[in-house]
Amino acid sequence: MGEREELDFEGAMSRLEALVGSLEAGDLSLEDSLRTFEEGIRLVRLCSERLKSAELRIRQLEEGAEGVTERTLDVQEEE
Amino acid sequence: MWDLLEAPEGRTLSVSELVARLRTALVDEFGALWIEGEIASLHRSRAGHVYFDLKDPDAQLRAVIFRRSAVELPFQPQEGMQVLAHARLDVYPERGLLQLIVEELKPRGEGALRLAFEQLKVRLAAEGLFDPEHKKPLPFMPRCIGLVTSRQGAAIHDFLRGLRQRFAASEVLLYDARVQGEGAWREVVRGLHLLDTRPGVDVIVVARGGGSIEDLWTFNREELVRAIFELGTPVISAIGHEVDVVLTDLVADARAATPTTAAELVVPDAAALLRQIHDFERQLVRRQRTRLQILWHQLDGLGRGLVHPAQRLAELERRLEHARVRLANAVARERERATTRLGHLAQRLGRAVRRLQEKREAGLLTLRGTLDALSPLAVLGRGYGIARRESDGAILRASRQVSSGDAIHLRLSRGALRAAVTETLEE
């Protein structure tokens, strides 16, 4: 499993929504609003990247003499 | 006529012998066999055995399922049901009946399968296996999607195509299992159990293309249904076409009408998410810009309130000058007032002094009268004189104050005398 699994996407989306909400409320100090804005933009970038990586990865579980193993499948092989 | 006493040619058998030989012959000839037929005249004994006739249009055989086997049946045999029986032939000696001892029974044909399906569904539903409260929530975005299906089937292509269209950045872990035929359910269950314990597998899809009820029967197997029920990972059942309902559809945490639409349950729509993210981004930027504009505006307002130090200094000087003028005026006024008061006071003092002098003069006049009465001079008028030592003017009250020859001054009522002491006399 690659690093792309580390992002809690749903959590990031909720956080993003909350950040927009708190900016909207407008009761943040200038410093806090800048921090909120920067965090929001960072999350936007992270989430977009996660969605845009267009590669579908397929592996197959196999049971053999050496137990259960995983083998990467060529996607074209399956299409 | 028959000769009743004449012994027949060949050997004579007892009934028991014949039945025993028949049983041996039957076992030798047939052994265990599969036999297909329709169930008729079914009844259950109080002991739990199931008796029925297995028949086809031209023949029928008595059959029994003993209690031990009957309880193992996944469905209840019914009259009119087409079945495949795993049985051996036997003779029931007491009645000389040929009968099938049935060990295993399978529904045969669509009607029987439907019936068996309904029975199993009712039984498992009664146990609560399909209850909504057992449904596990599906992950929003699975790290890895477990997939149990056949690599040879159509379902895998349909599912992957759906996945790629909806959320291309997916990760799939496949367990290649037969999805049809004898023992296929074991492979599916094995795949489920293996995937259930793989790290990162957040959801498992069981997929198979469409087919007849027999083709799909694997997914009505009680063992498979129970395995899905007990699995820790959420399971999506994507079996057959929309109209096909199998028991795994009912027990799974979610049911997809087809393998293609399963992707909609498994992953979010990446395009919709991207739109939402960009919407968030726009809002962030817009709100922040508004926020900064407001701040800028406020800053501008504050700036107008600010004063340059020189300006402030000039202002201070102006105020200082003002204060100085006021002070000078105040001082002048005060001085004037003081002078005036002083004048008044002087006048009052003068008046007071004058009054005092007048008073004193008046007093003095009175006093002089009194004094006059008491004055030694007045006494002198009566003929007394005041003698003083010439040297120091001391008034003489005793003769020893002077010596013979001392000059003395003698004050009289009118005029005075200077004299010399000629002699001092003791009293």
* Residue B318's pLDDT band (cuts 50, 70, 90): confident
* pLDDT number for residue B423: 87
Please give the mean pLDDT across all residues of chain B: 84
- What pLDDT band is residue B227 in, cutting at 50, 70 and 90? very high
- Mean pLDDT to the nearest integer, B126-130: 95
Measure CB to CB from residue B141 to each of A10, A24, A78 and give the nearest one. Answer: A10
Nearest to B143 among A1, A52, A55 (CB): A1
Token digits of residue A19: 């950040």
The residue of chain B with its CA nearest to that of A28 is B291
The predicted pLDDT at position B175 comes to 95
- Determine the angle formed by the axes of helices A9-25 and B270-305, rounding to 10 degrees: 30
Mean local confidence (pLDDT), B299-305: 68
Q: Which residue has the higher pLDDT, B242 or B164?
A: B164
Cα–Cα distance measured from residue A72 to residue B65, given in angstroms and rounded to the nearest whole number? 50
Looking at residue A1, its pLDDT comes to 38
Distance (Å, rounded) from C-alpha B253 to C-alpha B230? 11
Question: Where is pLDDT greater, at B151 or B374?
Answer: B151
Inter-chain touch B277–A48, beta carbons under 8 Å: yes
Q: What digits encode the pLDDT tens for the residues B396-426?
A: 888 888 888 889 988 887 788 888 888 888 7
Whether pLDDT at B161 is above 60? yes
Model pTM score: 0.62
Higher pLDDT, B152 or B334: B152
Residue type present at position A36: T
Report pLDDT for B359. 66
Tokens of residue A23, six digits: 């900016």
- pLDDT band at residue B353 using 50, 70 and 90 as cut-offs: low
Mean pLDDT score, B72-79: 83
What distance in Å separates the CA atoms of residue B284 and residue A15, rounded to the nearest whole number? 12
Return d(Cα B425, Cα B401) in angstroms, integer: 11
pLDDT score for B168: 84
Q: What is the pLDDT of residue A4?
A: 43
> What is the predicted pLDDT for the residue at A38?
85
Closest residue on chain A to B192 (Cα): A61
Pairwise pLDDT comparison (B85 vs B244), residue with the higher score: B85
| Residue type for position B274 | L
Label residue A2 by pLDDT band (50, 70, 90).
very low
No. of H helices and E strands in chain B? 11, 13
Mutate to test the interface with A, among B178, B202, B274, B288 (most CBs of A within 10 A): B288
Q: Is the pLDDT of residue B135 over 80?
A: yes
Provide the percentage of residues in chain B whose pLDDT is more than 90.
35
Q: Which of A44-48, B243-247, B307-311, B423-427 has the lowest mean pLDDT?
A: B307-311
CA nearest to B273, candidates A8, A21, A52, A19 = A52
B293 chain-A contacts, CB cut-off 8 A: none
In this predicted structure, the answer to whether residue A77 has a pLDDT above a threshold of 90 is no
Q: Kindly tell me if the per-residue pLDDT of B86 is higher than 90.
A: yes
Interface of B with A in 282-301 (CB under 8 A): 283-284, 287-288, 290-291, 294-295
Tell me what the mean pLDDT of segment B144-160 comes to.
92
What ipTM was estimated for this complex? 0.79
Query: Which of these, B153, B155, B217, lies nearest to B183 by C-alpha position?
Result: B217
Query: Taking a C-beta distance cutoff of 8 angstroms, is the pair B52, B42 a contact?
Result: yes
More confident residue, B389 or B352: B389
Q: Evaluate if residue B427 carries a pLDDT over 70.
A: no
Confidence category of residue B203, pLDDT binned at 50, 70, 90: very high
* Three-class DSSP category at B147: strand
The pLDDT-based confidence of B103 (bands split at 50, 70, 90) is very high
Q: Chain B, 43-102: which have a CB under 8 Å from a chain A CB? A: none
Residue B341 has pLDDT above 80, yes or no: no
Nearest to A23 among B163, B176, B287 (CB): B287
Q: What integer pLDDT is reported at residue B183 of this predicted model?
A: 87
| CB-CB contact of B97 with B89 (8 Å) | no
Structure tokens at A27: 């009761």
Q: Does B369 have pLDDT greater than 60?
A: no
- B62: confidence class by pLDDT, cuts 50, 70, 90: very high
pLDDT band at B289 (very low <50, low <70, confident <90, very high): confident
Q: Is residue B244 scored above 50 in pLDDT?
A: yes
Q: What is the mean pLDDT of residues B324-348?
A: 72
Q: Please give the average per-residue pLDDT across B119-132, as a whole number.
A: 93
> Is B169 close to A61, i.e. CB distance below 8 A?
no
Q: Which of B88, B80, B107 is nearest to B222 (CA)?
A: B107
Residue B151, chain A, CB below 8 Å: the answer is yes
* Strand runs labelled E in chain A: 57-64, 67-73
Least confident range of B60-64, B252-256, B363-367, B410-414:
B363-367
Tell which wins on pLDDT, B11 or B162.
B162
Number of neighbours of residue B125 by Cβ within 10 angstroms: 14
pLDDT at B96: 85
Q: Is the pLDDT of residue B374 over 70?
A: no
